[in-house]
Amino acid sequence: MVAKFANWLDERVSWRQVWDAIFLRKVPKVNWFYTLGSATLFVAVNQAVTGILLTLYYVPTPDHAYDSVQYITTQVPAGWLIRGLHHWGVSAMVVLVVLHMLRVIFYGAYKYPREVTWFSGIILLLVVIGFGFTGYLLPWDQKAYWATTVGTRIAGTPPLIGDYLLRILRGGEDLSAVTLARFFGTHVWVLPATLMLLLGIHLYLVIRIGISAVPKKED
């Protein structure tokens, strides 16, 4: 019964070709450093799952944000674990992305024909940093408030466009309910959509072009 359904579905969507291209493709002999990309993807899935669970209880308003985070941590079953996984997951994700890119540089995997894969990876790093920056404000405690005040002030230092960037980030002169709503919306909608798009392109290029083998020493 399962085989018949699999054949029926394959005739219509050719899922076996997709399966073979992803899971049965030839991979050169590599080492453990090549698992950094997969580890980063695993942490990204963790961030998505725990982030969705957190939004079920989090309230993005100045008068309820802090209380909702405390409620998640102390009252929701396993809430402390979910929040902890999400909190430390973004730090792990930044570290893994940086290590992954250092591996690419060290092995020269950014060269032809993988330049576009490399460029998409650079943008993905910026998106991951954006996740950390926008998510830091959401607990709305003293540390988050003043750290974001400093961070947005740094973004406002460039000449000519500095004040404009500062107003875009804060939604005004100072941090307010608009800032919190703007950071929350960016954190749960804009950046995830960007991440999924770039991650799809990145993975497609990795599958389409393949990964580079470990450089061999010349005799």
As a whole number, mean pLDDT of residues 93-121 equals 95
**What CA–CA distance (Å, rounded) separates 152 from 32?**
38
pLDDT-derived band at 104, boundaries 50, 70, 90: very high
The topology under which CATH files domain 35-209 is Cytochrome Bc1 Complex; Chain C (1.20.810)
Please say whether the beta carbons of 38 and 211 come within 8 A. Answer: no
What is the average pLDDT score of the chain?
A: 94
Backbone dihedral region for residue 158 (phi beyond 0: left; psi -120 to 50: alpha; all else: beta): beta
pLDDT of residue 212: 87
Question: What's the gap between Cα 105 and its chain centre?
Answer: 21
By CB atoms closer than 10 A (0-12, 13-18, 19+), residue 145 is middle
- The residue among 24, 32, 21 whose CA lies nearest residue 214 is 32
pLDDT category at 218 given cuts 50, 70, 90 is low
Average pLDDT (3-25) is: 88
Cα distance between the two ends of the chain: 57
Q: CA 55, CA 183: separation in Å to the nearest integer?
A: 14
Torsion angle (degrees, nearest 10) of CA 118, 165, 89, 69: -160
Give the residue ranges of DSSP H helices in 27-114. Answer: 36-55, 65-74, 79-107
Segments making up each domain of the chain, as ranges:
35-209
The more confidently predicted of residues 91 and 218 is 91
**Shortest CA distance to 202 belongs to which of 125, 134, 135?**
125
> Does residue 123 register a pLDDT over 90?
yes
Residues listed for the chain: 219
What does the pLDDT average to over 119-139? 97
Residue-level pLDDT at 86: 98
Which is nearest to 134 in space by CA: 78, 41, 60?
Answer: 60
154 phi-psi bin (left φ>0, alpha ψ -120 to 50, beta other): alpha
